[in-house]
C-alpha cells in the first residue's frame, strides 16, 4: 500500500535567547491510508512539534533544518503558505488538547462546522448545513438540528471535543492529527472520545496520527506505535510488538510506569529527567536514565535496529555483540506471551537511512569492539544490574 505521508530525516530547532533548542533530531516515519499511528512520549519529547510541522503551524522561531514531509508524494516543507492553507483543514486536519482553542465562543456550532465545508468544497449553504447536522449525529451529539443553533459554552468539555472532531471531519481529510485530544478530559469522557475515534476510523477510514503522553490509551486506538524520546523515534512497531515485545529500555520504562488492574500502591516512575535539548547528549539520549546503558551509549548514537519487518528500536542492546540483559520482570512476562515468528535482529542499513541519525560513530556497526559493548560505563568491571 502506498504511503499517504512520509517524514524523512526531519530536524527542527528553535531559536531562543539561550541558544538553539534541537527539538526534533532526525525523525522518520510513514503513514498508510486508513492506519492509525500513535506517537507516545513524555512531555517535551517533540510530539507536538512533529505534528505541527506537518500542518506547518510551527512557532515563528522554528527552523526546519533538514528533512522532507511528503504528503501524497509532495514535500510540505516546500509549499507556500497559500498552498498550505488549502491543505489545512481540507486534506490534513488537526485537533488539539483544548477544544476551546479551535472553537469560536461567539459563533453557533452549526456555522462553525458548515463554514469550512463551504470554503473547501463546492457545495451550497444548505448542503453544508445538512452535512454539519449529519456530522454532529455521527460524533454522537443528540438532537443535532437543535444543537446546531447553540454556542460552545452550552456544551460540556467532552461534547466540545466531539464538535471539534466533527469540524475536522467536515472536509473528509486524508489525515487527521489528534494532539492529546483527551488529555484535558476526565477519565470516563476520555474513554468515550477514544471509542468515538475508533468507531470513526472504522467508518471513515481516515489515516490518524494520535498523539499522547499516555501509553495506556493507545492499545485500543492505534495500529502502530512510535515511541518518542528527546526529539527522536526510539522504537516503532505494531501495537502488539510495542506492548508485548518491547526492545528499548525507554519503552520498558513507559510500560512499567503504566497503571494496571493488578497495580497496587507503588507505581514505577522512570528516574531522572529528559535531556536538555539546548545541548543534546552525545550517544543514546536515554542512557543517563537507563539501568541498561552500555559504554557505547555514551559515545555513539544507536541506529534503529530491525526486530521485524514492522518493528525497529534504537538501542545498542540489539547489537549482535551486546551483552544479553534481562528486562524488568514485568516486561519479561509480557514478552513470554508474545509469539514471534522469527526474531531476526540485525542492524538494518535501509533503516540507518530511515533513522536519519547522523551517526558520528562507526559506520560499520558490526565493528564495535567488545569493550565498547560492555555494560561497564565507569570502568570498574561490574555490569549494571537492572533495578526495575
Ligand X SMILES: Nc1ncnc2c1ncn2[C@@H]1O[C@H](COP(=O)(O)OP(=O)(O)O)[C@@H](O)[C@H]1O
- Identify which of 209, 232, 271, 175 has the alpha carbon closest to the alpha carbon of residue 23: 232
Residue 178 interacting with ligand X (CB under 6 A): no
- Check: CB of residue 293 under 8 Å from CB of residue 284: yes
Listed in sequence order, the DSSP H helices in 26-156 are 47-55, 81-87, 109-120, 125-138, 144-147
x/- site string to Mg ion, residues 23 to 52, per CB under 5 A? ------------------------xx----
Q: Name which of Mg ion, ligand X, none residue 41 binds, using a CB cut-off of 5 to 8 Å depending on partner kind.
A: ligand X
Cα 318 vs. chain centroid, distance in angstroms? Answer: 22
Overall residue count recorded for the chain in this entry? 388
Cell for 267?
A: 507505581
CB of 313 to ligand X, least distance (A): 19
CB of 57 to ligand X, least distance (A): 11
Q: What CA–CA distance (Å, rounded) separates 25 from 46? A: 9
Q: How far apart, in whole angstroms, are the C-alpha atoms of residue 85 and residue 45?
A: 27
Tell me: does residue 200 bind ligand X (CB under 6 A). no
CA atoms within 13 A on the CB side of 271: 9
User: Which residue, 45 or 159, has its beta carbon nearer to ligand X?
Assistant: 45
Q: Tell me the sheet residues that pair with 75.
A: 70
Report the site for ligand X in 49-108 (rule: CB under 6 A).
49, 59, 61
- For the CB of residue 23, give the shortest distance to ligand X in the complex, in Å: 3
**Dist. CA 108–CA 112, nearest whole Å:** 6
By C-beta, is 14 or 300 nearer to ligand X? 14
Is 1 among the residues that bind ligand X (CB under 6 A)? no
Task: Give me the sheet containing 207-212, strands edge to edge.
Answer: 92-95, 175-179, 207-212, 36-40, 224-229, 232-238, 311-313, 305-308, 346-347
Nearer CB in complex with ligand X: 23/351? 23
- Minimum distance between the CB of residue 56 and ligand X, rounded to whole angstroms? 14
Select the binding partner of residue 21 from ligand X, Mg ion, none (C-beta < 5 to 8 A, by kind): ligand X
Helix count (H) and strand count (E) of the chain?
12, 13
Which string of x and - marks every residue 325-354 that binds Mg ion (by CB under 5 A)? ------------------------------
What, of Mg ion, ligand X, none, does residue 46 touch, CB below 5 to 8 Å by kind? ligand X
User: 56 with 76: CB under 8 angstroms?
Assistant: yes
Q: Of 11 and 47, which CB lies nearer to Mg ion in the complex structure?
A: 47
Residue whose CB is nearest to Mg ion in the complex, by number: 48
Binding mask 248-277 for ligand X (x = CB under 6 A): -----------------------------x
Distance of alpha carbon 27 from alpha carbon 4, whole angstroms: 17
Size of the site for Mg ion (CB under 5 A): 2
Please report, as residue ranges, which positions from 13 to 52 form the binding site for ligand X (by CB under 6 A). Answer: 14, 16, 21, 23, 41, 43-49
* Residue 68 near residue 75, CB atoms below 8 Å: yes
Q: Least Å distance between CB 210 and ligand X? A: 13
Min dist CB 278 to ligand X, Å, is 9
Size of the site for ligand X (CB under 6 A): 15
Query: Contact between 206 and Mg ion (CB under 5 A)?
Result: no
Radius of gyration for the chain, computed over Cα atoms and rounded to the nearest angstrom? 22
The footprint of ligand X (CB under 6 A) covers 14, 16, 21, 23, 41, 43-49, 59, 61, 277
- Where do contacts with Mg ion occur on this chain (CB under 5 A)? 47-48
Amino acid at each position: 500500500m502506498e504511503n499517504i505521508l512520509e517524514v524523512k530525516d526531519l530536524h527542527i530547532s528553535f531559536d531562543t535567547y539561550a541558544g538553539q533548542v534541537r527539538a526534533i533530531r532526525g525523525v522518520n516515519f510513514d503513514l498508510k491510508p486508513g492506519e492509525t499511528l500513535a506517537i507516545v512520549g513524555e512531555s517535551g519529547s517533540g510530539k507536538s512539534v512533529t505534528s505541527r510541522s506537518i500542518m506547518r503551524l510551527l512557532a515563528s522561531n522554528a527552523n526546519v533544518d533538514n528533512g522532507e514531509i511528503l504528503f501524497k508524494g509532495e514535500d510540505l516543507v516546500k509549499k507556500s503558505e497559500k498552498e498550505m492553507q488549502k491543505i489545512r483543514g481540507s486534506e490534513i486536519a488537526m485537533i488539539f488538547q483544548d477544544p476551546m482553542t479551535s472553537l469560536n465562543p461567539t459563533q453557533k456550532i452549526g456555522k462553525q462546522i458548515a463554514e469550512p465545508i463551504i470554503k473547501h468544497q463546492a457545495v451550497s449553504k444548505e448542503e453544508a448545513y445538512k452535512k454539519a447536522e449529519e456530522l454532529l449525529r455521527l460524533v454522537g451529539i443528540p438532537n443535532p438540528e437543535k444543537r446546531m443553533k447553540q454556542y460552545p459554552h452550552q456544551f460540556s468539555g467532552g461534547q466540545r471535543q466531539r464538535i471539534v472532531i466533527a469540524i475536522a471531519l467536515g472536509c473528509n481529510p486524508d489525515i487527521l492529527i489528534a494532539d492529546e485530544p483527551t488529555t484535558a478530559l476526565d477519565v470516563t469522557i476520555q474513554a468515550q472520545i477514544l471509542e468515538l475515534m475508533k468507531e470513526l476510523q472504522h467508518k471513515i477510514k481516515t489515516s490518524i496520527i494520535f498523539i499522547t503522553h499516555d501509553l495506556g490509551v493507545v492499545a485500543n486506538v492505534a495500529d502502530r506505535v512510535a515511541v518518542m524520546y528527546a526529539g527522536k523515534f526510539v522504537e516503532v512497531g505494531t501495537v502488539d510488538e510495542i506492548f508485548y515485545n518491547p526492545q528499548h529500555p525507554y519503552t520498558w520504562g513507559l510500560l512499567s510506569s503504566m497503571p494496571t488492574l493488578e497495580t497496587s500502591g507503588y507505581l514505577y516512575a522512570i528516574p531522572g529527567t529528559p535531556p536538555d535539548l539546548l545541548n543534546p547528549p552525545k550517544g543514546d539520549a536515554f542512557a543517563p536514565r537507563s539501568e541498561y546503558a552500555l559504554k557505547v551509549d555514551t559515545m555513539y548514537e544507536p541506529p534503529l535496529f530491525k526486530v521485524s519487518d514492522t518493528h525497529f528500536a534504537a538501542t545498542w542492546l540489539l547489537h549482535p555483540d551486546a551483552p544479553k540483559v534481562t528486562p524488568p520482570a514485568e516486561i519479561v512476562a509480557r514478552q513470554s506471551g508474545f509469539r514471534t515468528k522469527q526474531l531476526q535482529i540485525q542492524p538494518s542499513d535501509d533503516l540507518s537511512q530511515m533513522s536519519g541519525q547522523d551517526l558520528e560513530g562507526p559506520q560499520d556497526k558490526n565493528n564495535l569492539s567488545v569493550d565498547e559493548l560492555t555494560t561497564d560505563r565507569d570502568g570498574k568491571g561490574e555490569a549494571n544490574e537492572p533495578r526495575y
